[in-house]
Amino acid sequence: MVAHTLWTSAAPAMTYRLYASEWHLTSTTTAAIFAIYPVVVVGVLILFGGLSDQIGRRATMLLGLGASFLGALILALAPNVPWLFVARAFMGVGVGLTAGPSTAAMVEFNEGSPPRRASVVATAAQAAGFAAALIVGGALTQYAPWPLHLVFWLLACLIAALFTVAWFLPRPAESGAAGGWTPRLPSVPRSARKAFTIAAFAMTTAYTHGVMILSLGGQIAHDLVRSPDTLVNGTILAVFAIMSAVVSLLAKSLSTRTAMTAGAAASGAGMGLLAAATAFHSMALFLSASVMTGAGYSLLFLSALDVIHSATPVERRGATLSALYLLGYLAVGVLAPILGRIATVHGLGVAVYLGAGVIAALSFATLGLAPGLRRVADDERR
């Protein structure tokens, strides 16, 4: 379920350039198609962020999978741009409903094992979904028939199979749902707000990488790095996800503070490499940027989850995680259309430099906040 959230998010990454070419779309339009997804995710998290704490993880995830399936199906059939907006909106509903509950369920089904294990598996699962979307999408887009549709038929079939399997998830997680559902904004327990602030900076920094990789990555590789093969470009972008999975497994012994500090440093360095790859049209630098930013994303995401898991009680965990995802997707939803507009007016290179600068600034802010985790832990013990 966790893997599905990033696969769904990344599914159109390798087709944006084809949409732009075949339907004569500007960078502003393609960025808007990308941005409608995080905007809808934010809306769902605002309205339904605490839903799984009330009706149960399984029921909420099934609703989300149903919406994701409709989104994939509409993309598979899409004949024009309005269909793309509708499809991405449905995908936003699906991910908004499943992101928080699936992560919370990872912790709750992991009872009896170290809490870090759930965070590591969740990070690796996201990376696996991300990598599969980019590599499979790149291969089908480059070499298979119906390049604008086949990848989404495959995704729809996978989501349908996942829905069937998820139907048999344990129901006891829904036992706390007595009384039904009432609209409730995602919220953070007062005792966890300091920790949440630090985690939010780490999560927001991690998620803004998606703008550069998913929204602009294919165009950067083709137009600026000058690589014409979609499969090659998708594979290089997938290195981001593969590195993320590898680092999450290697980081099991790191403290939360160390992981966050290292992740912020790697993220800032990766943005520098991406800017250099754009300036020098270098495939080697582009690959290095994917490696470095993948490591940074993994450590930032992992440390943010660790902070929330240790700071919040189980009955508030779903809403708190939804609030955390809300901020991450909100940043993506704001940054993507801005960069898309800049790419249209001033050129893709300018958009890359600006985006890299914004993410580097967030990385340095997180780097400055990470030492505060020790003080937060001391306050909790007192």
* Domain of residue 278, CATH code: 1.20.1250.20
Which of 131, 135, 133, 132 lies closest to 242 in space, CA to CA?
A: 131
Minimum mean pLDDT among 58-62, 68-72, 264-268, 337-341: which range?
Answer: 337-341
Look at residue 290 and tell me if it is in a domain. yes
Give the structural domain span for 119: 2-167+191-381
Question: What would the two tokens of residue 230 be?
Answer: 């979609």
Task: Give 213's DSSP letter.
Answer: I
List, for residues 90-105, the tens digit of each pLDDT value.
Answer: 999 999 999 888 888 8
pLDDT of residue 183: 64
Check residue 190 and report its DSSP letter: G
Complete DSSP assignment for 58-113:
HHHHHHHHHHHHHHHHHHHH--SHHHHHHHHHHHHHHHHHHHHHHHHHHHHTTTTS
Please report the pLDDT score of residue 218 as a whole number.
67
More confident residue, 313 or 305: 305
Distance from C-alpha of 145 to C-alpha of 40, rounded to nearest angstrom: 31
Does a structural domain hold residue 176?
A: no
Mean pLDDT is highest, among 109-118, 177-186, 266-275, for 266-275
Give the rounded percent of residues in the chain with a pLDDT score beyond 90: 31
Nearest to 214 by CA among 35, 22, 65: 35
- pTM of the predicted protein model: 0.77
- For 375-379, the CB contacts below 8 A with 24+ separation are 376/194, 376/195, 376/198, 376/311, 379/194
- Judge whether residue 177 has pLDDT over 70: no
What pLDDT score was predicted for residue 202?
95
Q: What pLDDT is recorded for position 190?
A: 81
Residue 182 domain flag: no
Predicted local distance difference test score (pLDDT) of residue 366: 95
Q: What pLDDT shows up at residue 215?
A: 63
- Does any domain span residue 142? yes
Domain annotation covers residue 172: no
Mean pLDDT, range 30-39, rounded to an integer? 85
Is residue 181 one of the residues assigned to a domain? no
Residue scoring higher pLDDT (263 or 172): 263
Which is more confidently placed, 280 or 221? Answer: 280
pLDDT at 375: 64
Q: Look at residue 135 in the predicted model and tell me its pLDDT.
A: 83
Q: Is residue 263 part of a domain?
A: yes
Q: What pLDDT is recorded for position 174?
A: 46
pLDDT (tens digit, 9 = 90+) per residue, 179-234? 455 666 667 888 788 889 999 999 999 989 877 876 666 677 777 767 777 777 77
pLDDT of residue 180: 55
Instruction: Measure CA 339 to chain center.
Output: 18
pLDDT at residue 381, rounded to an integer:
45
Tell me the chain's radius of gyration from C-alpha atoms. Answer: 19
- Give the mean pLDDT of 284-299: 91
Q: What is the mean pLDDT of residues 352-376?
A: 90
Asked if residue 299 is part of any domain, the answer here is yes
Q: Does residue 173 register a pLDDT over 50?
A: no
Question: Total domain count for the chain?
Answer: 1
